[in-house]
Amino acid sequence: MFKALLVEKTDDTPRASVQELDESRLPEGDVTVAVEYSTLNYKDGLCIGPGAGLVRTYPHVPGIDFAGTVEASDDPRYAPGDKVVLTGWGVGETHWGGYATRARVKADWLVPLPEGLTPRQAMALGTAGFTAMLAVLEMESQGLVPGQGPVLVTGASGGVGSVAVSLLSALGYEVAAVTGRLEQEGYLRGLGASRIVARADLAEPTERPLEKAVWSGAIDNVAGPMLGRLLGQMLPGATVASVGLAAGAAFPGQVTPFLLRGVKLHGINSVYQPYEARMEAWSRIAKELPLERLEEMIVPATLEDLPRLGADILKGQVRGRVVVDLS
């Protein structure tokens, strides 16, 4: 038997509850993992709650990330006792995920626990931290180095935002944090932001295609009108890493920043990164992110807390990174 957060749909409303399940209910896969920690991302909020087209069949176990110890493996790359991490690949969406004390997945989806991280720290990062690192790697590949001007992070008190602020600051960048929760200024400055921008300053669309050029790079977690505004504020040649859509997928804008300032808009997809790219991102973040800052972001939780926290994250009310203890 194992314990899991099971989402069932008997009428139109999905309902999540913690249940004891028989191991025979685990999905197909070549590696069985004793899950020690999981976490909560925006997508998990959707999969615990409305589903939003991500969950196709019920009953379902959400949890897009987990870290734990291999219990059984039919794949030569993993043996019982190995510490492993999983993010993405549709786990927690179309395949049962990490909100359980056992998970069974394809070996291809796993990576070894990065050196220097505990399973708990790996989940304090999770998809959010991994994605923040991918965004930084993308901007660096486009020529971003410290000293070119401030780098903007939107949705800064959220999961991706919190890790992005810490990481950029640890790498020597001047970081401007956009938040709708100005009471989080102390938290964001503690993570390394040197400038706080009120969400309201960027929330309204403008007719002006170009504004004063300020930002040498940007990690955008919210899209909507804010993405249109920040494109018009980028320095010549700067890259915006488009990560999320907390304010809605559509954004207003003109091509003028691309044509007159050579601004670049690059998408980040954390779900289907190949193994080598995953290993590179994980080892870089394990090396560069000060672990004491990671501690400041952690909200500890249990499986029982997840229905409430899942609803909170969809309302933009979770700060930092939830770490779910399944050990």
CB of 197 to ligand NDP, least distance (A): 10
**Separation CA 184–CA 157 (nearest Å):** 7
| Candidate ranges 17-25, 127-135, 230-238, 294-302; the one touching ligand NDP (CB under 6 A) | 127-135
Task: Return the number of the residue (21 or 128) whose C-beta is nearest ligand NDP.
Answer: 128
**Separation CA 77–CA 60 (nearest Å):** 28
Amino acid at 218: A
DSSP of 271-299: TT--HHHHHHHHHHHHHHS-HHHHHHHEE
Nearest in space to 108 (alpha carbons), one of 83, 86, 92, 123: 86
CB of 136 to ligand NDP, least distance (A): 14
Collapsing DSSP to helix, strand or coil, 177 comes out as strand
**Separation CA 116–CA 207 (nearest Å):** 49
CB of 65 to ligand NDP, least distance (A): 10
| Candidate ranges 23-31, 75-83, 114-122, 155-163; the one touching ligand NDP (CB under 6 A) | 155-163
Task: Return the number of the residue (7 or 226) whose C-beta is nearest ligand NDP.
Answer: 226
| Candidate ranges 23-31, 190-198, 237-245, 254-262; the one touching ligand NDP (CB under 6 A) | 237-245
The DSSP secondary-structure symbol of 94 reads T
Residue 285 interacts with ligand NDP (CB under 6 A)? no
Task: Return the number of the residue (148 or 180) whose C-beta is nearest ligand NDP.
Answer: 180
CB of 22 to ligand NDP, least distance (A): 32
CB of 236 to ligand NDP, least distance (A): 26
How crowded is residue 190: how many other Cβ atoms within 10 Å of its Cβ? 14
Task: Return the number of the residue (214 or 311) whose C-beta is nearest ligand NDP.
Answer: 311
| Candidate ranges 91-99, 102-110, 126-134, 255-263; the one touching ligand NDP (CB under 6 A) | 126-134
| Candidate ranges 74-82, 99-107, 175-183, 302-310; the one touching ligand NDP (CB under 6 A) | 175-183
Task: Return the number of the residue (26 or 134) whose C-beta is nearest ligand NDP.
Answer: 134
43, 60, 120, 264: residue in contact with ligand NDP (rule CB under 6 A): 43
Q: Lay out the site mask for ligand NDP across 185-204 (x = CB under 6 A, - = otherwise).
A: --------------x-----
80 prior amide bond cis, ω within 30: no
Structure tokens at 19: 């249940």
Collapsing DSSP to helix, strand or coil, 173 comes out as coil
CB of 2 to ligand NDP, least distance (A): 26
Q: Do 273 and 281 contact (CB within 8 A), yes or no? A: yes
Nearest in space to 63 (alpha carbons), one of 89, 84, 31, 24: 89
The DSSP secondary-structure symbol of 156 reads T
Amino acid at 235: L
Residue 243 interacts with ligand NDP (CB under 6 A)? yes
Collapsing DSSP to helix, strand or coil, 85 comes out as strand
Give the residues lining the site for ligand NDP (CB under 6 A).
Answer: 41-43, 127-128, 131, 155-161, 179-181, 199, 221-222, 243-247, 268-271, 313, 316, 318
